[in-house]
Structures are given as structure tokens and as C-alpha cells.
């Protein structure tokens, strides 16, 4: 009887040791994979930045005038390069946030001016794709403190999603209003919408949503995960409400002052 118990305990310990070893091996492999990914992504960033600078100079006529077709082609190439740079930044940021706490550098932001800048920056891309974009900011929407660079990337991800997931020309509207918690931004589109079962999981890392109506969609599943991390680092919240075939609205709720 005692011998049987000893043998059972020895088998259990052996199985536990094997499981722990497998777990350690998996963690080591995951670290090697993540380190390699970060190294490759980091090395891609510098040449891509140079490509973007050259495309911008071409579009602005620094190398001479272009025909309309040439201008459109350069604008489209610049947009795709910006998408890739955004993906690289998301990969680096998500990896860093998983290792440490995301650092923010708050500065005062006026909602109307902030949204206006976004619309101006995206105008060439929207024109090239036959899409439209507008903004509105309530007079009561307060000036708030946030990391402007991080917040711009949050909006860039949301706007890019609206463009990518729509097979036809889409309209995107940005808005800001006063909220009991501080300020509430919305990013609304009239695209294909998001099925109910995906509306919670899309903010998780590597979760992807592909639309049958948008064959151009190509997603890493990192953009919305980054948005969640960046908003939460400010003490805020992000969520989505959507109906299929009617479009989506993403909500970004932020305090006037970032919370620890």
C-alpha cells in the first residue's frame, strides 16, 4: 500500500517536473522570438522613415511638378508606407509596454485644434482613396493633458481601420464633447460595421477582424491592442459600438489629467 503511494507520488513529481521544464522551454523560445522580432522591426524603422521623407518631398513638388496620375500614385505609396511605419511603432510599443509600464509625457491639448490637425494630416490619404473626413468639437469640450504623440497614434489606428475595412469610399467623423470623467472623443464611420461577437475581443493582442467586403484589409491585430494600452495609460477607457452594415463608433474617454 505504502509502495503504491510512493510510486504514485514519484510519477506525479516526474510529470510536474516535465511540465515545468516544458514551460521554461516555451518561455525561453518566446523570449528569443520576441527579441528577434524587436531587432528586425527596429532595423526596419530607419530606412522606412527615409522612404517616407522622400515620398513626401515628391508629393510636395520638391523634385519638380507631377501629373495627376503620378501625384495619386505617390500619395497612395506614402499612405501605405505610413501604415507600415505605424505597424512598426505598434510592435515596438506593445513589446515595451509588456515589459514595463508605458510612459506618457502629458501636455495641454485643445480638442478642436487637435482634431483639426488630424483632418489636415489625413487629407491627402482620404483624397487619394475617395473618402471624406470631418470633425466637430463642442465648445464645452475642455482642454486636457495627455501625451499628444501617443494620442495621435491612437486616432491614426482608428482612422486607418475605417479606411481598411471599407470596400467603398467611407466617411469618418471625429468629435469631442465634455464628459463627467473629463472628455469623450468619438471616431465614427459608415463602413461595414463589426459583428457583435468581435466587439470585445478586437482590443486584445493579435486579434484580427477581416471583412469579406474589404479585400484590401491586412491587419496585424496590434493596432487596437495598442490603442487600449495607450488610453489606459492615461487612466482612460476605449470601447466600440457597432452594427453590421451601419458602421462603427469608437469611444475614447479620458480624464482632464492623466491618472496613475
Domain that holds residue 27: 2-99
DSSP-derived secondary structure letter, 203: G
CATH of the domain at 113: 3.30.565.10
Q: Are residues 171 and 123 in the same domain?
A: yes
Q: Are residues 149 and 247 in the same domain?
A: yes
**Cell reading at 6:** 510512493
76 found inside a domain: yes
Given pLDDT bands bounded at 50, 70 and 90, which one contains residue 186?
very high
259 found inside a domain: no
Q: Are residues 167 and 250 in the same domain?
A: yes
Determine contact, residues 200/252, Cβ cutoff 8 Å.
no
- Nearest CA to 186 out of 255, 240, 122, 118 is that of 240
Q: Are residues 80 and 131 in the same domain?
A: no
What does the alpha-carbon distance between residue 181 and residue 224 come to, in Å, rounded to a whole number? 22
- Nearest CA to 114 out of 140, 152, 145, 79 is that of 152
What does the alpha-carbon distance between residue 89 and residue 58 come to, in Å, rounded to a whole number? 24
* Domain boundary residue, one of 99, 116, 143: 99
What does the alpha-carbon distance between residue 102 and residue 20 come to, in Å, rounded to a whole number? 31
Determine contact, residues 102/229, Cβ cutoff 8 Å.
yes
* Domain boundary residue, one of 55, 78, 99: 99
DSSP 189-201: E-SS---GGGTTG
Q: Are residues 155 and 243 in the same domain?
A: yes
Which helix (H) or strand (E) covers residue 54, if one does? helix 2-59
Determine contact, residues 217/165, Cβ cutoff 8 Å.
yes
Q: Are residues 62 and 113 in the same domain?
A: no
How would you classify the pairing of strands 132-137 and 171-179? parallel
| pLDDT higher at 59 or 37 | 59
CATH of the domain at 50: 1.10.287
Count of domains forming the chain: 2
Q: Are residues 142 and 92 in the same domain?
A: no
Query: Residues 48-70: pLDDT tens digits?
Result: 888 889 999 999 999 999 898 99
Given pLDDT bands bounded at 50, 70 and 90, which one contains residue 3?
low
Query: Residues 200-253: pLDDT tens digits?
Result: 788 876 555 554 444 444 444 567 888 898 999 999 999 999 988 889 999 999
| pLDDT, averaged across the chain | 83
260 found inside a domain: no
- Nearest CA to 203 out of 184, 237, 226, 186 is that of 226
Amino acid at each position: 500500500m505504502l509502495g503504491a503511494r510512493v510510486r504514485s507520488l514519484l510519477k506525479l513529481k516526474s510529470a510536474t517536473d516535465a511540465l515545468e521544464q516544458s514551460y521554461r522551454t516555451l518561455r525561453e523560445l518566446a523570449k528569443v522570438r520576441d527579441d528577434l522580432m524587436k531587432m528586425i522591426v527596429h532595423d526596419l524603422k530607419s530606412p522606412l522613415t527615409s522612404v517616407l521623407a522622400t515620398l513626401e518631398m515628391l508629393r510636395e513638388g520638391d523634385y519638380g511638378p507631377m501629373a495627376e496620375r503620378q501625384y495619386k500614385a505617390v500619395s497612395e505609396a506614402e499612405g501605405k508606407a505610413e501604415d507600415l511605419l505605424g505597424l512598426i511603432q505598434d510592435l515596438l510599443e506593445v513589446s515595451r509596454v509588456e515589459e514595463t509600464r508605458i510612459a506618457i509625457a502629458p501636455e495641454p491639448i485643445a480638442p478642436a485644434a487637435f482634431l483639426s490637425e488630424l483632418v489636415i494630416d489625413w487629407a491627402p490619404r482620404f483624397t487619394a482613396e475617395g473618402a471624406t473626413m470631418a470633425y466637430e468639437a463642442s465648445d464645452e469640450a475642455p482642454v486636457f493633458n495627455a501625451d499628444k504623440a501617443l494620442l495621435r497614434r491612437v486616432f491614426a489606428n482608428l482612422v486607418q481601420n475605417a479606411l481598411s475595412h471599407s470596400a467603398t469610399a467611407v466617411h469618418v467623423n471625429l468629435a469631442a464633447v465634455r464628459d463627467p470623467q473629463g472628455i469623450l472623443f468619438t471616431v465614427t464611420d459608415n463602413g461595414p460595421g463589426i459583428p457583435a461577437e468581435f466587439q470585445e475581443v478586437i482590443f486584445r493582442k493579435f486579434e484580427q477582424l477581416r471583412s469579406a467586403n474589404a479585400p484590401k484589409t491586412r491587419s496585424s491585430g496590434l493596432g487596437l491592442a495598442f490603442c487600449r494600452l495607450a488610453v489606459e495609460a492615461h487612466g482612460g477607457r476605449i470601447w466600440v459600438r457597432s452594427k453590421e452594415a451601419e458602421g462603427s463608433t469608437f469611444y475614447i474617454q479620458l480624464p482632464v489629467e492623466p491618472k496613475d
